[in-house]
Chain A
Amino acid sequence: MTSYGMVFDVKRCIGCNACTVACKQENSLPDGVFFTRTLSAEVGEFPNVSRTYLPTICNHCEDAPCEKVCPSGATYSRDDGIVMVDGALCIGCGSCAVACPYDMRTKIEETQLTNGLFGEGNLTPFEEQGYTRFECGTFTKCDFCSERVDAGKDPACVATCPTDARVFGDLDNPDSKVSRLIRDRVGRQPLPEKNTRPKVFYID
């Protein structure tokens, strides 16, 4: 079986958020909507201080709380473990959003789709061809670029990452790059105490 996951190499990441913009570009995300974002954390005191960049994304949790609480069945898992949202079924109750410990769900507000990126109410041709994918009022999130993945491509954020800090692959295949990185460099999952079994791992 295939089980898709991602590894973030924190040592490589330069916090540029090219991934964030690539995702907005690929998925026509409205203003303020992010499927991934790279956070920064400052640690230590001058002069012994460092800043770490932490890419974050939907973890496609094995035990996804967002899926469990979804009353409409809009959130579901594919056989390859990608946690999907069917916008046509979502009722916008937000249960998934308060259930996701990683703050990875966002609502698509009608005003975001009508005001447009330039805030003037005139959508660019780019937005016009892209926004049709969204249902107003629904909660959405990253789907690991399932269409690209199905076509054998890397997700958009992975493809663009200037430092190769994002690696996508099959966690069930012990020889995949993700599996090797997790083994060799001790991959850690985010908030393991939440028992969600994330399929995203961090290495440093």
Chain B
Amino acid sequence: MTDQTPVQNSMKSGTWKKSSCKMCIHSCNTVVHVTDDGVINKIEGDPDSPANMGRLCPKGNAAIMRHYDPTRFKTPLKRTNPEKGPGIDPMWEPISWEEAMETTIRELKTSIDEDPRKLLPSIADFQKLYLWAWPLVVGNSNYFSTAGSFCGGGYHPMNGFIHSTFAAANDVNYCNYWINNGSGDGFSSHLHTAAQAFHVANARVERNMRVVCVEPRLSIGGAKAEEWVPIKPASDRHFALGLCHVLIEEGLCDYETLKHDTNAPYLVGEDGYFIRDSDGKAYVWDGKDNKAKTYDDKSIGEFAIEGTYEVEGKACKPSFQRFKDILAECTPEQMSEITTVPAETIRRIAREFSTAAEIGNNITIDGRDLPLRPAGYNYYRGAHAHKYSSQSNHAFKLVNMLVGSIDVPGGHVGATLDDQKVDNGHVAEGDSGQLLGTPHQLGPHPGFSYPPDNMDLMSYFPLGVHPGHLNVEVWNNPEKFSLDFKPDVMLICHSNPIWSLPGKREDWFKIMREMRFIVAIDIVPNDTNAFADIILPGHDSLESWNMTMIEPPHTEGMCLRQPMTDPLYDTRSEEDIFNDISEGLGLLEVWNTILNIVNGFEESPNLKLELDQKHSDKEMARRKGLNWNGKDLDWYIEHGHAVTPRRTDKWYKPWQGLRLNFYIEDIVRERDGLRKAMDTAEVPIRDEWHWDDYQPLPTPVLEPVLRDNDEYDLYAITFKDIQLNFGESLSNPWIKDIVYRDPVHTALQLNTKTAAAKGLEHGDLVLVESKYGKIYGRLGLTEGIHPETIGVSNSLSRMMSQNAGVPYGGGHFNDMLPADLENTDACSAQCESVCRVKLTKLDHIPDELKGEGSLYSYSDGRAAQ
């Protein structure tokens, strides 16, 4: 076989070009091989990238199969079958771009001219965040998607309050004790999975970093952890509050940091506001002089953080004392009852965490003397995506803050989403020496309006991320919510809300069916665009330009995407499409103005988009690159990216000299502001509003899902994992080839003993029902799941779809979730992502599961060989 032309794809004759991956929302750096015949035949990680160091996750390795997917949209399409629904063939008919754009613009215009609020946009590409802003062109602030809120409703605003960033991660450079709570970070999902997995594995093996995984399911993180702590779903805040109790009760906190770097000493009155002097400066209590002084008084001898005082005639306590009072009801024993984690385990982990934090230790990095706190409590969607998400997020942050590990080497550190410019800081001074909280990380709040200007009620969530899931609640009860408009057109781009939104599928289908016109910009068929009237086919990520930086944990810098080949089909870039729509509506200048603002081109005359011109994806990429580091496109084409390790002045204590928000007074202020606005406007539902969800400190209130206790005796949870991008990557044959061989992704995960107690066996077919909806599935028994939990991989949450390549999995997990106010955090707009369910054994496959496209059609009943 020697001396022959190579058979390995990377060794064939061709060229390598640098780019970045787009198989999940992140952007690992890649090199792409194109043969002399123009075939893309190998994608590898860019070994020169300090982020992913030449590595890719399985999805990144499978990008070629999306590019060459024969089901890709090849031309603009027009629906010829008026009937719409899952699995119903739209009978697409190819049409010209002229016709497609003309129809689209005409139909959008008809509704927008009547009332711009009649448009429901669903634009969700994280790698092109500026497209999210397009609806502003017509003054629309609807949002028909759950991207951002299902995962980060409570998370992003809280990161904004605590770190002034979009995301956060443990600092893998120094961390030695990593609590991993309901998150795939470093193992299977979230921040730059492929990159982060490398750094976390190094820390585990080379530094013996200990991982404690607190999760109902033995996830990948759990499998790699030194200790897996199974926890009852939706009770994570209680676990964290238990830790806080022990840290405070046993005096295990970093008191120096609490006193000098946080607002823990600020005195809080009974109304929840700080006690202030006439200049508005917050008071603290000087324990030495035994009197109140403003926080910045140089003469303070001892910042009291405990005790009850009276200042200017008002009873008050340091905010730390307020928290301590709350924690009186959060003993490990009490928290154990809720979480099922043994009290002793809570105590031990709190002690281990504090010991590992090496309180008092310092380190010098780049000439700065910084606290070294090699212990971090990291968490994400699984832990906080519940009704009281804001409080949960806050509780997790406080575990870190108590031992002084916020934004310090080894601790829990904020990660910005996109700084746009290398020298842009993200930190500003707020009131009374505090770090300015920046809860609106995804864009400014549209402001209060009554009747609401948005079908998702965003105007009632001054601190929230768009609660896309509430669209269905409002649609079904327009009078109750005083809705004075009815959307009838939808613009979808890079989004699959019918898959991703929680709530009853039928209700969502109904909304889709009632739309007068739906246009979808997409590359492959999905659950949502099957309802579209017009499909506008986009270039895929190997045919288009882009420049981005998405939540890199400890790197920063723009990543280039460039076309590897000419487009395979008659497709266009999203930029071209949006430019033309804007122009067609006579709003091109407005669109360019918006683009200038959201991309930070405003301040640079040379970057500012010419308002009367249309800017291509390439031109946008060029300007974003220039904005970052002044380098033009040819530099990026050569280097692929400008990724560097995050500069330590930005990563560690960028807020040095300011105080962290231990107590979040803004939450009280926003609550009262909203209440006043609602009262003034006499919003009918104001008495129903969950005012108690606004808490400046976390409390042990029970999630509604924990309070229900009727016949629904199990908790159902959902998860992603590293092979899956929601459910969408399942049309990829390479991904299918590995996913459907993994026991975790081929059956509903149930604890062996739970099954035995219910007389259920491995492989049994079951009906899973919540109060709201149902799915079918086959049981896969495992020891690796909490006994009260049933785990549903996104691979199984598959509905009948137009994409025949994706096997039908027995329904959708989200069908079983509530999508109502009752289960929405009034503070952050987070939806509940866990539900109570019951199981019924079935003796045969229900008709709806039969048929070629079903995962379950392989065998009926328990199979003999």
Contact = CB atoms under 8 A, between A and B. Distances in A.
Q: Decide if the interface of chain B is mainly helix, strand, loop or mixed.
A: mixed
A44 B783 CA distance: 7
Contacts of A17: 58, 723, 738, 742
Nearest to B194: A162
B64 interface: yes
Interface string A118-142: 1110101110111011000000000
A47 B808 CA distance: 33
A18 B52 CA distance: 13
Given A40-B742, A125-B39, A51 B218 contact: yes
B56 interface: yes
A133 B7 CA distance: 6
A27 B9 contact: yes
B65 interface: yes
A29 to B, nearest CB: 9
B738 A124 contact: no
Contact of A52 (B223, B737, B753): B223
A126 B11 contact: no
B828 interface: no
B451 interface: no
B417 to A, nearest CB: 22
B751 A130 contact: no
Given A47-B230, A84-B1, A162 B205 contact: no
A14 B7 contact: no
A38 B517 CA distance: 47
Given A51-B218, A129-B37, A42 B783 contact: yes
Contacts of B733: 31, 117-119
A106 interface: no
A110 interface: no
- What class of interface size applies to chain A in its complex with B? 35 or more
A122 B70 CA distance: 8
A16 interface: yes
Interface string A33-68: 010010010101111011111000000000000000
Contacts of B44: 22, 156, 159-160
A194 interface: no
A11 interface: yes
B616 interface: no
A9 B40 CA distance: 32
B205 A25 contact: no
A26 B204 contact: no
B343 interface: no
Contact of B223 (A9, A51, A122): A51
B8 A21 contact: no
Interface string A151-193: 1010010011111110000000000000000000000000000
Contact of A160 (B11, B56, B753, B805): B56
B200 to A, nearest CB: 8
Interface of B: 1, 6-12, 35, 37, 39-45, 47, 52, 54-58, 60-62, 64-65, 68-71, 187-188, 193-195, 197-198, 200-202, 204-205, 218, 220, 222-224, 228, 230, 722-723, 733-735, 737-738, 741-744, 751-753, 782-785, 787, 805
Interface of A: 9, 11-12, 14-18, 20-22, 24-28, 31-32, 34, 37, 40, 42, 44-47, 49-53, 84, 86, 88, 117-120, 122, 124-126, 128-130, 132-133, 145, 147-148, 151, 153, 156, 159-165
9 contacts: A15-B742, A20-B738, A46-B230, A46-B783, A88-B1, A118-B71, A132-B7, A156-B10, A163-B200
